Amino acid sequence: MKKSFTAYRLFAGENGTPQGRFVELGVNDLSPGEVVIRVAFTSINYKDALAAVGTNRIIREFPRIGGIDLTGEVAASTDARFREGDPVVVHGFGIGVEFDGGHTQYARVAADSVMPLPAGLDLLEASILGAAGYTAGLCLHWMEHNGLRPESGAVLVTGATGGVGSVAVDMLAQRGYTVAAMTGKADAADYLKSLGADHIVVASTAQASGKPLEKPLWSGAIDAVGGEVLGWLLRTTQSDGVVTSFGNAGGAEFHATVLPFILRGVKLIGINANSPMALRHEVWAKIAGAYRPKHLERIANVIDFAQLPQAMAQLRDRASRGRTVIRMQH
């Protein structure tokens, strides 16, 4: 292991806005953990972009290395479950927020947060999926657990060009679902259709209305946006449909009545991707197998570590699509 390596560290800034810069660190500068990982790939998620601007004070202690997911090989471990050279995946469990995360050549994390690389995926594929792909897989897992099947009817993905949305569109299409993709980007139709979307729904379709129920359109939905969009989804989901809510890109508050629940039996399922390890194993095995997306290379923008600050700004400005993956040079 190298004595010193490069990390992108966030420092407390004025007015609560963190300041990020590349620094040279040693392994003992990282937050504690039993496993040191030579990072192969990390990525930029919505939460990383928010954390870096200080929104909602996602990061409360500085300095901190962001990056809520990473893949790589174990460089050293004091925990007997992991040996040098093991390929591993880490996401959630507070990395990149409460503890140092993946935006570094070497990461040090708690052994309980480390998962062996799922069989059937390589490190790049697992990083293109990352926390976002896991979230998409978790939504589908719970939707199918609640009865959703390809023959049930069209499934809508909102925030469809985003990281979770892009993987969800691809995953659903590969699994045989009819996929509708909602986007606010005027030029995204070709991209979304190339991932398997059957229909494009313009974001402005989801308007507030005084009605408690509207024409049923969806057998299920994977919702990144929240806010008024979630209220509209509940009103337009067919009987026994399943809506998964995992994001608030468009707002946290929404208006709804109980009528979709009591007259149509619509189910609303909350998704928190920071799942216990046993569920991660189950869902990652599906993602690598039955749910496997087909177009990961179309979803991924693979960039160098040096491009991280600009890529983070693009994600914040809603100017990126798919997943932004950082290939770590060593």
Ligand X SMILES: NC(=O)c1ccc[n+]([C@@H]2O[C@H](COP(=O)([O-])OP(=O)(O)OC[C@H]3O[C@@H](n4cnc5c(N)ncnc54)[C@H](OP(=O)(O)O)[C@@H]3O)[C@@H](O)[C@H]2O)c1
Exactly one of 52, 273, 287, 296 binds ligand X (CB under 6 A); which one?
273
Exactly one of 159, 220, 231, 260 binds ligand X (CB under 6 A); which one?
159
| 109 interacts with ligand X by CB under 6 A | no
Residue among 25 and 51 whose Cβ is closer to ligand X: 51
21 HSE (CA, 13 A, CB side): 6
| 184 interacts with ligand X by CB under 6 A | yes
| 199 interacts with ligand X by CB under 6 A | no
| 152 interacts with ligand X by CB under 6 A | no
Binding mask 15-34 for ligand X (x = CB under 6 A): --------------------
Least distance (Å) between residue 36 CB and ligand X: 26
> Which residues fall within 8 angstroms of residue 29, CB to CB, at 6 or more apart?
none
The answer to whether 113 touches 82, Cβ cutoff 8 Å, is: no
SS3 of residue 292 by DSSP: coil
Exactly one of 135, 236, 237, 238 binds ligand X (CB under 6 A); which one?
135
CA 33 – CA 56 distance, rounded (Å) = 26
Residue among 30 and 296 whose Cβ is closer to ligand X: 296
CB neighbourhood size of 200 (10 A): 16
Exactly one of 8, 246, 254, 284 binds ligand X (CB under 6 A); which one?
246
Footprint (CB under 6 A) of ligand X, residues 161-180: 161-165
Residue among 30 and 68 whose Cβ is closer to ligand X: 68
| 204 interacts with ligand X by CB under 6 A | no
CA 144 – CA 138 distance, rounded (Å) = 10
Exactly one of 250, 292, 299, 312 binds ligand X (CB under 6 A); which one?
250
Residue among 63 and 163 whose Cβ is closer to ligand X: 163
The answer to whether 128 touches 323, Cβ cutoff 8 Å, is: yes
264 HSE (CA, 13 A, CB side): 27
Residues that bind ligand X (CB under 6 A): 45-47, 131-132, 135, 159-165, 183-185, 188, 203, 224-225, 246-250, 271-273, 315, 318
